[in-house]
């Protein structure tokens, strides 16, 4: 292909669009269903329940330490399905490209999307590409929609937390939020922090193979662990008590948060889950999570209580107590 950048013609539905599809997209996502280039994908389903989820990805910058918008778009939807207890099977991908996007960037993004699909064991079976004039979008936006199969007897929902449940967090907080932040204009600085973007479906399947008594699964993405806990407390009409000392944060992330006045409890994660299980299963579930490559730093951060429904309380390190509220607005750096 002679062009090195995306042109409006690539979204025209004509020859250039066909060329983009056959030369860039298809070689990367080669599977019989996609290769049909039909208006939609057709597949068999067995009896049972399906999970269905969609998400759009507009991350800035599109490349960040530890990942890019491509693997993020795959992992994000895979994880949303996994949090329903589903085994993710198929994904669709809609690309909105800004005129002028280097085709090499697109290839790089789609290559990492492909790797993420392989890692999750999920197939991309339908897609769409649109090109908009320069300025009408920022480089690339991706929408992915996914379908997964929910095994029998799995009943996971945000209103399922019960007093006595232990709350497990599968690893360190805020890695994705900080990794992206350090690349933002005006704040560029060297750090060792990399995004935690990763598919969590294998971890979830390992947990559910051990016990189906899991009450809630949630990936604390935007809004972070603090917001996710509050949402679950409200929906389940329960209180929660977490321990500051147990909350896992890498020293690098903790240091940057101190410097900029951010609270890691409210920064995004893209490869972590919160798991609510009855206390009797907590140790076994924790140990299964810790065996997963992205769950090594998992720990029990607190428990569900019947008191103060809808509220999350933190026991601070020095023995005090405070409320952990939902994030309101974006976290902004402090002024003095």
Partner 1 sequence: MSIDGKLFGESFRDPALAQSLVRQIKGHATQPMRLMEVCGTHTMAIFRHGIRALLPPTIALLSGPGCPVCVTDQQEIDGFIALAQRDDVIITTFGDLLRVPGTYTSLQKEKAEGADVRVVYSAMDAVQLAQAHADKTVVFLGVGFETTAPTIAAAILMAQQLGLENFCVNCAHKTVPTALAALVANPAIRIDGFLLPGHVSVIIGMNAYDDFFQKHHTPCAVAGFEPLDILQGIAALARQITSHRPALENSYGRAVTDQGNAKARAVMAQVFEPCDARWRGIGTISGSGLAIRPELARFDAARRFKIAVVEMKPPKGCACGEILIGAKTPLECPLFRKRCTPMDPVGPCMVSSEGTCAAYYRYHS
Query: Residue 40 interacts with partner 1 (CB under 8 A)?
Result: no
Question: Minimum distance from CB of 3 to partner 1 (Å)?
Answer: 30
Residues 280-299 that bind partner 1 (CB under 8 A): 297
Q: Is 58 in the site for partner 1 (CB under 8 A)?
A: no
Q: Helix or strand or coil: residue 138?
A: coil
Residue 318 found at the interface with partner 1 (CB under 8 A): yes
What is the rounded distance in angstroms from the CA atom of residue 73 to the CA atom of residue 197?
A: 10
Q: Which of 165, 297, 157, 156 is nearest to 241 (CA)?
A: 165
Is position 178 an interface residue for partner 1 (rule: CB under 8 A)? no
Residue 48 touching partner 1 (CB under 8 A): no
140: its two tokens: 């690339």
What b/e readout covers 86-119, taking b as 16+ CB neighbours within 10 angstroms?
bbbbbbbbbbbbbbebebebbbebbebbbebbeb
Q: Give whole-number Cα distances, 327 to 159, 186, 240, 267, 335, in Å.
A: 20, 24, 17, 9, 19
Q: Which of 74, 241, 311, 312 binds partner 1 (CB under 8 A)?
A: 311
Interacting residues with partner 1 between 118 and 177 (CB under 8 A): 172
187 binds partner 1 per the rule CB under 8 A: yes
Tell me if 221 contacts partner 1 by CB under 8 A: no
Contact 79, 165 (CB under 8 A): no
Geometric angle at alpha carbon 217, from 219 and 245, rounded to 5°: 70
Q: With contact defined as beta carbons under 8 Å apart, do 214 and 85 qualify? A: yes
Question: For partner 1, which stretch binds (CB under 8 A), given 16-24, 79-87, 246-254, 270-278?
Answer: 246-254
Judged by beta carbon, residue 46 or residue 328, the one nearer partner 1 is: 328
Q: How far is the CB of 31 from partner 1 (least distance, A)?
A: 40
Q: Which stretch binds partner 1 (CB under 8 A): 47-55, 103-111, 112-120, 322-330?
A: 322-330
Name residues whose C-beta falls within 8 Å of residue 201's C-beta, 6 or more positions apart in sequence.
Answer: 78, 79, 81, 82, 87, 88, 120, 121, 122, 148
> Which of 55, 138, 243, 244 lies at the binding interface for partner 1 (CB under 8 A)?
244
Size of residue set near partner 1 by CB under 8 A: 39
Please answer whether residues 280 and 203 qualify as being in contact, where contact means their C-beta atoms are separated by less than 8 angstroms: no
Q: Work out how close the CB of 214 gets to partner 1 at its nearest, in angstroms, rounded to a whole number.
A: 24
Least distance in angstroms from the C-beta of 303 to partner 1 = 18
Whole-angstrom Cα distance, residue 125 to residue 250? 38
Determine the interface stretch with partner 1 among 69-77, 135-143, 195-203, 306-314 (rule: CB under 8 A).
Answer: 306-314
Q: Does 182 bind partner 1 (CB under 8 A)?
A: no
CB-based contact 93:26 (threshold 8 Å): no
Shortest approach of partner 1 to residue 256 CB, angstroms?
Answer: 11
CB of 171 to partner 1, least distance (A): 9
Report how far residue 87's alpha carbon sits from residue 294's, in angstroms, rounded to the nearest whole number.
18
Of 15 and 322, the one with the shorter C-beta distance to partner 1 is 322
Q: Check residue 75 for interaction with partner 1 (CB under 8 A).
A: no
Q: What is the distance between the alpha carbons of residues 210 and 160, in angstroms, rounded to a whole number?
A: 19
**Contact residues: partner 1, CB under 8 A:** 172, 186-187, 244-245, 247-251, 254-255, 258, 260-261, 263-264, 297, 308, 311, 314-323, 325, 328-329, 331-336
């Amino acid at each position: 292909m002679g062009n090195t950048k995306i042109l409006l013609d690539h979204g025209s539905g004509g020859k250039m669009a066909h060329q983009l599809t056959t030369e860039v997209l298809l070689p990367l996502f080669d599977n019989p269903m996609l290769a049909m280039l039909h208006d939609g994908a057709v597949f068999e389903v067995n009896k049972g329940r399906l999970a269905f989820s969609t998400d759009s990805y507009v991350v800035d910058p599109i490349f960040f330490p530890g990942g890019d918008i491509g693997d993020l778009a795959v992992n994000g939807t895979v994880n949303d399905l996994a949090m329903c207890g589903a085994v993710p099977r198929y994904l669709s991908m809609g690309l909105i490209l800004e005129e002028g996007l280097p085709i090499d960037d697109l290839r790089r993004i789609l290559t990492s999307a492909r790797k993420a699909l392989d890692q999750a064991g999920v197939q991309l079976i339908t897609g769409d590409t649109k090109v908009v004039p320069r300025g009408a979008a920022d480089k690339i936006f991706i929408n992915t929609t996914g379908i997964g199969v929910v095994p029998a007897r799995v009943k996971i929902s945000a209103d399922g937390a019960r007093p006595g449940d232990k709350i497990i967090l599968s690893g360190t907080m805020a890695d994705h939020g900080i990794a992206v932040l350090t690349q933002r204009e005006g704040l560029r600085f060297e750090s060792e922090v990399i995004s935690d973007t990763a598919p969590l479906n294998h971890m979830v399947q390992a947990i559910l193979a051990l016990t189906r008594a899991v009450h809630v699964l949630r990936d604390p993405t935007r809004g972070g662990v603090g917001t996710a806990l509050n949402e679950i407390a409200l929906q389940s009409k329960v209180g929660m008590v977490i321990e500051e000392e147990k909350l896992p944060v890498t020293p690098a992330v903790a240091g940057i948060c101190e410097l900029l006045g951010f609270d890691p409890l409210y920064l995004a994660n893209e490869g972590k889950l919160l798991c609510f299980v009855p206390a009797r299963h907590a140790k076994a579930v924790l140990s299964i999570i810790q065996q997963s490559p992205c769950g090594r730093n998992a720990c029990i951060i607190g428990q569900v209580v019947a008191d103060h429904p809808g509220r999350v309380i933190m026991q601070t390190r020095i023995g005090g107590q405070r409320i952990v509220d939902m994030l309101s607005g974006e976290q902004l750096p402090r002024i003095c």
